[in-house]
């Protein structure tokens, strides 16, 4: 939504779209850190309460948990903060570059979502027999793509709710019509 709003503002030369996109991104950048902290807390609780299950999942999905997901998370964090902090410096004629960074951020975010949905879909519909399955066979099962679609639509819906909330707040605080 943010990239689309920013793009519309750039095409129509209407600063209201850009302002809304920037406000939503500000909230996103703040909540992103909180999400990372709660995710870290969840991992500690999971290891403490279910050490055998956690050991099995990490061993079975080692490339995802130890390499792919951390690299995607770091890339997403870097691109998010580049996107946020370059907002004013990449304005005017350079606005297209800023929109491109936003598109890259969305691609990395969706890739991260799809990657972490692999272990989740494995827990929902594990392959049978489990012994001898490859990492790809464990990820690509009956529930992986439906889960990806479900979570993508859910994220878009939640993003729309947050955007509406921010737009309503800005509207109620406006001084003019």
Please give the C-alpha separations between residue 109 and each of 92, 112, 114, 129, in angstroms, as whole numbers: 26, 5, 9, 32
Q: What is the pLDDT of residues 54-90, one digit of tens each?
A: 999 999 999 999 999 999 999 999 999 999 999 999 9
Please give the pLDDT value at position 41: 96
d(CA 173, CA 123): 46
Enumerate residues 6+ apart whose C-beta is below 8 A from 168. Answer: none
- Cβ atoms of 20 and 5 within 8 Å: the answer is yes
Enumerate residues 6+ apart whose C-beta is below 8 A from 164. Answer: none
pTM: 0.88
Q: How confident is the model at residue 176 (pLDDT cuts 50, 70, 90)?
A: confident
The H-assigned helical ranges of 13-65 are: 15-49, 51-60, 62
Give the pair of three-digit tokens for residue 30.
Answer: 């703040």
pLDDT(177) > 90: no
pLDDT(137) > 90: yes
Q: How confident is the model at residue 33 (pLDDT cuts 50, 70, 90)?
A: confident
Q: Look at residues 125, 166, 118, 148 and name the one whose alpha carbon lies nearest to residue 5.
A: 166
pLDDT(163) > 90: no
pLDDT(167) > 90: no
Q: What is the pLDDT of residues 88-131, one digit of tens each?
A: 999 999 999 999 999 999 999 999 999 999 999 999 999 988 88
């Amino acid at each position: 939504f943010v990239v689309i709003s920013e793009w519309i503002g750039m095409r129509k030369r209407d600063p209201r779209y850009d302002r809304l996109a920037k406000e939503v991104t500000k909230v996103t950048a703040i909540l992103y850190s909180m999400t990372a902290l709660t995710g870290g807390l969840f991992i500690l609780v999971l290891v403490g309460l279910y050490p055998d299950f956690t050991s099995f999942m990490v061993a079975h999905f080692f490339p995802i948990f130890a390499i792919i997901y951390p690299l995607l998370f770091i890339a997403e964090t870097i691109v998010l903060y580049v996107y946020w902090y370059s907002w004013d410096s990449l304005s005017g004629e350079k606005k297209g570059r800023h929109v491109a960074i936003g598109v890259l951020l969305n691609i990395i975010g969706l890739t991260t979502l799809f990657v972490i949905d692999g272990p989740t879909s494995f827990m929902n519909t594990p392959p049978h027999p489990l012994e001898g399955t490859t990492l790809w066979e464990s990820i690509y099962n009956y529930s992986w793509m439906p889960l990806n679609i479900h979570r993508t639509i859910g994220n878009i819906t939640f993003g729309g709710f947050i955007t509406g909330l921010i737009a309503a707040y800005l509207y109620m605080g406006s001084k003019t019509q």
